[in-house]
């Protein structure tokens, strides 16, 4: 396997890790006005992600940095063509991060309500737009022979991409609800389980539709396996949630997100950004990658530092593993 293939796989792993970890953060933020009926409950909800949300976002930084270093052509075409939606994602993440830090700085109900709105919007927009973005990446965009995006913003709002946005939104809300059921006690725990069951049905329908569409247009035997795993895990998670096995339910939604992400990247390979104008204009793992020497240096850096990051983040989750009560 060539190094550019290895780095495509590693970038897929980074995005899967980001969606797995940041997915429940987004879900908690979106559920804040639903489950946070009073200040005590809202503090309980935010306390579940307070120690970990900023560490979860590191996966996005590393995924973006790895894409820039390993596949600069992909990075350039992606961020120029998707400039507006990615700018909206960046703005939402900034506002959300500031809101999580500043919400408790003043003992004033109006102050906290405004930051709660910022947390909700800052969680909702990325949850939708990441699905729209990856839907367009897999489907392909109007790339010219110079690998420049020549379409319009509204070309990105096609049915497949919009289904992708609906799927990530529903999956992240379900994932966040199962996380809250696992991490809280009392009324919030019971309410989170009910929300997970209801939204999970919508998530299952959207995910099955997106994966079936992906399989029909871009799939092969391997994507069929990962798609089936994703669907089966989600059904199993809903069943576990129904009988009160929150740990199994959260693990199952985690498997669903990872398997669904794997399906999209497998359907994409060996392209990294297909062209809908002419397949010859598509960016691939070979024509979009950096030099072999650059990839070699990156590989050694990843081997040295990735275990340290994983150990530290795993330790953080272990320290804050207990349930939170009101």
The CATH classification of domain 3-319, taken from the options 1.20.5, 1.20.1630, 1.10.260, 3.40.50: 1.20.1630
173-188 per-position pLDDT tens digit: 999 999 999 999 989 9
pLDDT above 90 covers what percent of the chain?
Answer: 84
Q: Strand, coil or helix: what is 36?
A: coil
Helix, strand, coil percent content, the chain, rounded in steps of 5: 80, 5, 15
CB 250 within 8 A of CB 200: no
Residue 326 has pLDDT above 80, yes or no: no
Question: Nearest 5°: CA angle at 299, between 293 and 301?
Answer: 110
The torsion angles phi and psi of 11, rounded to 5 degrees, stand at -65, -35
Residue ranges of the domains in the chain? 3-319
Give the model's confidence band at 246: pLDDT under 50 very low, under 70 low, under 90 confident, else very high: very high
Residue 9 has pLDDT above 90, yes or no: yes
Residue 55 has pLDDT above 80, yes or no: yes
80-134 per-position pLDDT tens digit: 888 888 999 999 999 999 999 999 888 888 999 999 999 999 999 999 999 999 9
């Amino acid at each position: 396997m060539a190094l550019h293939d290895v780095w495509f796989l590693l970038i897929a792993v980074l995005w899967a890790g980001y969606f797995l970890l940041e997915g429940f953060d987004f879900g908690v933020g979106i559920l804040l006005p639903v489950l946070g009926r009073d200040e005590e409950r809202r503090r309980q909800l935010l306390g579940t992600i307070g120690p970990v949300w900023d560490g979860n976002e590191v996966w996005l930084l590393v995924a973006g940095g790895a894409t820039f270093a390993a596949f600069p052509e992909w990075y350039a075409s992606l961020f120029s063509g998707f400039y507006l939606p990615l700018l909206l994602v960046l703005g939402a993440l900034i506002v959300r991060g500031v809101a999580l830090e500043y919400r408790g700085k003043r003992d004033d109900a109006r102050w906290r309500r405004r930051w709660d709105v910022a947390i909700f919007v800052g969680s909702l927009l990325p949850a939708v737009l990441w699905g729209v973005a990856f839907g367009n990446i897999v489907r392909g965009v109007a790339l010219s022979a110079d690998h420049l995006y020549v379409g319009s913003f509204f070309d990105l709002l096609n049915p497949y991409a919009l289904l992708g946005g609906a799927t990530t939104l529903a999956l992240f809300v379900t994932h966040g609800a199962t996380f809250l059921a696992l991490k809280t006690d009392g009324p919030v725990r019971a309410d989170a389980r009910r929300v997970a069951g209801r939204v999970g049905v919508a998530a299952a329908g959207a995910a099955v539709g997106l994966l079936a569409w992906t399989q029909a247009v871009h799939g092969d035997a391997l994507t069929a396996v990962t798609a089936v795993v994703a669907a089966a895990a989600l059904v199993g998670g809903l069943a576990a949630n129904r009988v009160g096995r929150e740990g199994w339910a959260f693990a199952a939604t985690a498997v669903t997100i990872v398997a669904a992400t794997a399906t999209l990247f497998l359907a994409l390979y060996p392209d990294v950004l297909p062209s809908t104008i002419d397949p010859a204009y598509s960016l691939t793992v070979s024509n979009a990658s950096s030099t072999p020497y650059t990839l070699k240096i990156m590989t050694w850096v990843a081997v040295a530092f990735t275990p340290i990051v994983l150990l530290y983040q795993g330790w953080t989750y272990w320290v804050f593993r207990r349930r939170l009560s009101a």
